[in-house]
Amino acid sequence: MTAPGIPALDLTADVVTLTRALVDLPSESGREDVIADAVDTALRGLPHLSVARVGNSVVARTGLGRAERALIAGHLDTVPAAGNLPSRLADGRVHGLGACDMKGGVAVALRLAATVPAPVRDLTYVFYECEEVEGDRNGLARIGAERPDLLADAGLAVLMEPSDAGVEAGCQGILTADIVVEGTRAHTARAWQGVNAAHKAGEVLRRLDAHRAERVVVDGLEYREGLSAVAVRAGVAGNVVPDACVVTVNCRFAPSRSPEEAEAYVRALFPEYEVRVTEVVAGAPPHLDRVGGLVAALGAEPRPKLGWTDVARFAALGVPALNYGPGDPSLAHTAGEYVPVAHLERCEAGLRAWLS
């Protein structure tokens, strides 16, 4: 029995049907109330789960007294629609907003929650809000802050981020910084009276061009780092020598480096410039020693995750995590995103085998 206004989700439907039903529920970041109500209501109908709600995030836990507890998580929100609704099934793929990132993964997790009532390890399912927006709105971070008890007793976590239905272990950290080059304004008709900050920034960009990012091996996985200018801004007026040029760099660093080490690394490359670090977030080590059993059960060859994902939030809580989800990560946030049916089925079967 569903309350008025709350869409019914049939968690026993096949994974393709369930994926499409989720795609068709509106859930742009910050507007997850409808999908969260639907997931919450469906999970509360399952007697083997106890359900908690934190904002528009839903946590459902078994309480079987198993020796181990694992966590399976996926976010409910999507980026804004791009003419890619409603869902459609074609060519063995579910197409539509969020199909890849990451309602396919959420559908797999919901199917398991409903159809594996007595898993061999206790389970915590987390369906959360606001992954696609600023970190201080992130639903997983909010649960960690308000109800850490719901997360911290897990021995490992599976994040259903699109990973081509394979295992992507750990994730790299991110540092963003502004490199500020200063000069002195002048009229361009008397340019020699000034110091052109844009001209001076040529050395910063040249150094970035010459820089060769490192490849760092952690647990046998090669993390390929990166240091990229993502923005350059200079300009006062068409007849003015600019007195400032700001080069914004985005650094991806291996999980073996701490944020402090990453910051020191970037500063050492530009010792003579002002470097303003605007954001730095740690990565997550692959922890193959602690997630190896799961990797083996899934029959997957682990790859390093080069992007940053919420596995880093689990790592910060002391819970080793890996990425394992259907869909090609390079399709995330594209208007043409889709998830292959074969990925959905492979992920569901892999996790079901590990739980049974």
Catalytic site positions: 77, 131
Give least dist CB 116 to a second copy, A: 33
- Indicate the pairing of strand 93-95 with strand 50-54: unpaired
Neighbours of 105 (CB within 10 A): 32
Give least dist CB 289 to a second copy, A: 25
Rounded-to-integer distance, Cα 9 and Cα 109, Å:
13
User: What distance lies between CA 246 and its chain's CA centroid?
Assistant: 28
> In this structure, which amino acid lies at residue 230?
V
Planar angle of CA 275, 279, 283, nearest 5 degrees: 115
Of 67 and 210, the one with the shorter C-beta distance to a second copy is 210
Of 155 and 307, the one with the shorter C-beta distance to a second copy is 307
Rounded-to-integer distance, Cα 323 and Cα 302, Å:
10
Query: What separation, in Å, do the N-terminal and C-terminal C-alpha atoms of the chain show?
Result: 29
Of 17 and 250, the one with the shorter C-beta distance to a second copy is 250
Q: What three-state secondary structure class fits 350?
A: helix
Of 146 and 203, the one with the shorter C-beta distance to a second copy is 203
Six-digit token pair at 316?
Answer: 């910060």
Rounded-to-integer distance, Cα 20 and Cα 18, Å:
5
Give least dist CB 35 to a second copy, A: 26
Six-digit token pair at 18?
Answer: 């369930």
Q: Are 130 and 69 in contact (CB under 8 A)?
A: no
Give least dist CB 338 to a second copy, A: 18
Give least dist CB 187 to a second copy, A: 7
Give least dist CB 346 to a second copy, A: 24
Phi and psi at residue 64, in whole multiples of 5°? -95, -5
Phi and psi at residue 244, in whole multiples of 5°? -155, 145
Q: Which residues of the shown chain bind a second copy in the complex (CB under 8 A)?
A: 172, 176, 187-192, 196, 198-209, 213, 224, 226-242, 245, 247-248, 250, 252, 306-308, 330
Q: Are 26 and 114 in contact (CB under 8 A)?
A: no
Of 219 and 225, the one with the shorter C-beta distance to a second copy is 225
Of 66 and 333, the one with the shorter C-beta distance to a second copy is 333
Rounded-to-integer distance, Cα 231 and Cα 246, Å:
8
Q: Are 143 and 56 in contact (CB under 8 A)?
A: no
